[in-house]
Amino acid sequence: MQEFIPQFLKEMLLEQYGEDLTSQIINGYHEKRLVTLRINTIKATKEKICEKLKKAGIHFKIVTWYKDALIIENAREEEIKKLEMYDNGEIYLQSLSSMIPPIILEPKAGENILDMAAAPGGKTTQIAAMTNNRAMITACEKNKIRAERLKYNLQKQGVGCTNIMIEDARKLSDFFSFDKILLDSPCSGSGTDNVKNKDFSKELIERSTKIQEELLRKALKLLKKGNEMIYSTCSILKQENENILKKVITKSNAEIIPIGNIDGIPLLPVTIKGTICVCPTNEYEGFFVAKIRKL
């Protein structure tokens, strides 16, 4: 089982988490992850979707910490994609872990919100649904092809409150100012199946940390004073998470706001109190989330 994991990653995990947790993480990488979805409340109700799934013979489990999320127990992604509710944007296939950052961001109607690395749009559409399409969202995506995918998903989900900018968020003008910012930063994907890809390397981690640091510095420039932002990655390595926060926050006028316990989420230990790191399992991808306030 363990041979799929690059040796350098195993060593990094052992150093950070010790033997027992490393073994648990590696087992988590190999689990066949269950399909999870979010009900798009712009277009449908939970009752309506649950009823349709039951009629289709699809078994599901309610997620205790998020009323709009479901875990599918007896169908794969391909089968869900054949359903009418998928085609018309009433549901969005999304990992449970990636639903956490928008929940902790707590977006409100009327707020001016920046999503710094938005494609393919899972979190952007979630923010729009959470605010009933009444926030003003700026969604940044530097890659034109990915930006097209983002545009498609926003339209399919009935999102009407978002402006897409095909721009590297690091290059945004400092004249911009936002009430809230979601920085779900590009990363190595060390909490996901990405660890099995041949392009997963030490160089990828190093490259990611450089971008993460630059994006976080920019985010803190664009965030209004006294307001909050989220920094998240689908990495479980402190090099891409706590180390980045320590490096940037010590030189910025900002502080970590502790995230309260979320029942039912499998967590790994963290080196900055109040941040959370999700352990990969058959239901969750590995994921890191921190809430930051600009002073």
User: What region does 133 belong to: left with phi over 0, alpha with psi -120 to 50, or beta?
Assistant: left
Residue whose C-alpha is closest to residue 258's, from 272, 246, 244: 272
Report angle CA 77, 80, 233 to the nearest 5 degrees.
45
What pLDDT is stored for residue 251 in this prediction? 86
CATH class (in words) of the domain with range 96-294? alpha beta
Spans of the chain, pLDDT less than 50: 1-2
Q: What is the pLDDT of residue 146?
A: 96
**Selected catalytic residue, list 140, 161, 234, 277:** 234
**Cα–Cα dist 70/67, whole Å:** 8
Pick the CATH number of 36-93 from 3.30.70.1170, 3.40.50.880, 2.160.10.10, 2.60.40.10: 3.30.70.1170
Question: Backbone phi, then psi, for 51, in 5-degree steps?
Answer: -65, -45
Report the pLDDT value the prediction gives residue 3, as an integer from 0 to 100.
56
Where along the chain do its domains lie?
36-93, 96-294
265's tokens: 């989420």
**Is 279 among the residues known to form the active site?**
no
Q: Tell me the per-residue pLDDT of 208-243, one tens digit each, with 9 for 90 and over.
A: 999 999 999 999 999 999 999 999 999 999 999 999
**pLDDT at residue 284, as a whole number:** 98
pTM: 0.96
Contacts of 272-278 with C-beta under 8 Å, sequence gap 24+, read: 272/242, 272/245, 272/246, 275/241, 275/242, 275/245, 276/100, 277/236, 277/241, 278/97, 278/100, 278/191, 278/236
Measured distance CA(58)–CA(178) in Å, rounded: 41
